[in-house]
Structures are given as C-alpha cells and as structure tokens.
Amino acid sequence: MRKNIVAGNWKMNKNVIDAQQLMAQLLEYKKENATNCEVWIAPPALYLMMARDIFENNEVGVFSQDMSEFAAGAYTGEISADMLQSIEADGSIIGHSERRQYHGETDAACNKKVKAALDKGLIPVYCNGETLEQRKSGKHLEVVKAQTEEALFTLSAEEIKKVVIAYEPVWAIGTGETATPEQAQEIHAHIRSLIAAKYGQEVADEISILYGGSVKPDNAKEIFSQPDIDGGLIGGAALKIEDFSKIIEGFNN
C-alpha cells in the first residue's frame, strides 16, 4: 500500500552507545509526536537486534542496509533474509549506490535480493539513480528505466506492490547537491509510468517511491510535496534527532 515514509540510512556511523542514544531519542520523539508518515531506520547490521528491542511495538521500522541474495552458506560477512526475518526486521535496503560503487552490486544481483527478501516477508527498499555523467549526457531517464526493469520486472504484480523504490541520483548523495523538486518529480513520475505500463496504473499507484540525496530539514517539505514523491531515504541528516525529526515534520501541514 502506498504510504508516506521517512527512512534513515545510518550507513557506517555510530558506536553502540551513540546508536542506542539516537534510537532512544527517536522512540521518545515518536511517543510524543503524531507523525504523518512511517518512520524507518537502517542502522548498521550489528545494531539491528537492539533496534528491534527498542522499537518493540513497531514505533519505527527496522531495516538492514543490505542483505545477501543467497539463502545460507559460505558467504563470509553476509547476512541473509532468513536471519533478518528471524530477528523480526521489517526489510532491507537493496542496491544502494554505495553498494554498487564499492562492492560491484549489479541490478541482476538486486533482482535476486529483492526476491529473496519478498520470499521471507521482508520489504525491499530498492535504490536506483543515475551518475552525474549520465545526467549530463541526458541519459538519466534511460538509465533509471534499465535499472528498474532489470531489478524488478520479473516480479508478479502482487510482489511488486510490496516493494518500496528509492530514487537516489548518485550526484546528490552526501554531496550537499539536491535534485530540484522538479528534477526528482520527473524521475518519480517516469518510474511510476514504467510500472503502470507493465503492471497497470492501479499497481503503480500503490507503490511508495522515496527520494534520496541530501534531503535536509530545509528542503524536505518541498520535495515531499511533489505528487509522485512519497517520502525520503535520508543519510547524513538521519544521524541527529534534531534534523531527522524536522524532516519527518516535512509531512505535517
């Protein structure tokens, strides 16, 4: 079901004390404030069980930053969908551009990961987006189309409805450069139209498409007000409760 979502991707930040403190602050914030969106976090894998304990009543969704495409076995350093399900995680980010850039992740692998997540009842948050060069050469629509098709279009209509998509232009991640609300809206509408062409408008209208890339307290509201933008995947600004809560409030009137 299409929902408004603000998700924090903590990346490789915070020791256990700091992680616990931010989770406690977030729990307090959620208890004291009604929010017009779901709030999710993706802390480092090491802290997922702690997160599940702290958010025991699902006040905040608990996501991993990545997961394996394989079920089990000799894959040192990896975590599986089954492990995530067993600690009652809600889902996993899949295909983040940093995984693509530093760990050679491909859309073919993302496709397997998305399926592995869905098979275990987890929500995949599938990320895509173009590089600066691809945007400059006018290929951004084409690139995002190819990514979306390769990673997602083997799914059934029932399956794809359960996926959350995060459009994250690589040139806007951690750079302080944000896509303008119009640039982001153009791609979000494009992704939704691709899904509509393949699965029908009704299915496309059920999918939440988040924007990621330098979302901050002062630009969140405008970005979230675009018709095809259903929330954000937030990196740097998810690491402080003051900033993250203001972004969540981007959904308040």
Positions marked active-site: 96, 168
Under rule CB under 6 A, residue 105 binds ligand PGA = no
Under rule CB under 6 A, residue 248 binds ligand PGA = no
For CA atoms 124, 26, 227, 184, give the dihedral sign. negative
SS (H, E, C) 158-225: HHHCCCEEEECCHHHCCCCCCCCHHHHHHHHHHHHHHHHHHHCHHHHCCCCEEEECCCCCCCHHHHHC
Helix (H) or strand (E) holding 132: helix 132-136
Under rule CB under 6 A, residue 9 binds ligand PGA = yes
Identified binder of ligand PGA from the candidate list 215, 220, 223, 248, rule CB under 6 A: 215
Identified binder of ligand PGA from the candidate list 91, 95, 231, 235, rule CB under 6 A: 235
Nearest approach, Cβ of residue 102 and ligand PGA (Å)? 13
Contact 25, 242 (CB under 8 A): no
Taking CB under 6 A as the binding criterion, the range among 68-76, 102-110, 116-124, 206-214 that sits at the site for ligand PGA is 206-214
Nearest CB to ligand PGA, comparing residues 51 and 204: 51
Nearest CB to ligand PGA, comparing residues 117 and 215: 215
Question: Alpha-carbon distance 168 to 157, whole Å?
Answer: 24
Contact 209, 165 (CB under 8 A): yes
Nearest approach, Cβ of residue 88 and ligand PGA (Å)? 23
Question: Alpha-carbon distance 243 to 246, whole Å?
Answer: 5
Residue 145: is it exposed, middle or buried by C-beta count within 10 angstroms (0-12/13-18/19+)? middle
Strand partners, 234: 8
Nearest approach, Cβ of residue 107 and ligand PGA (Å)? 18
Nearest CB to ligand PGA, comparing residues 199 and 244: 244
Under rule CB under 6 A, residue 212 binds ligand PGA = yes
Residue nearest to ligand PGA (CB): 235
Question: Alpha-carbon distance 145 to 31, whole Å?
Answer: 40
Taking CB under 6 A as the binding criterion, the range among 56-64, 80-88, 199-207, 213-221 that sits at the site for ligand PGA is 213-221
Count of residues engaged in binding ligand PGA, rule: CB under 6 A: 13
Which residues 165-184 are close enough to bind ligand PGA by CB under 6 A?
A: 168, 173-174
**Which parts of this chain interact with ligand PGA (CB under 6 A)?**
9, 168, 173-174, 212-215, 233-237
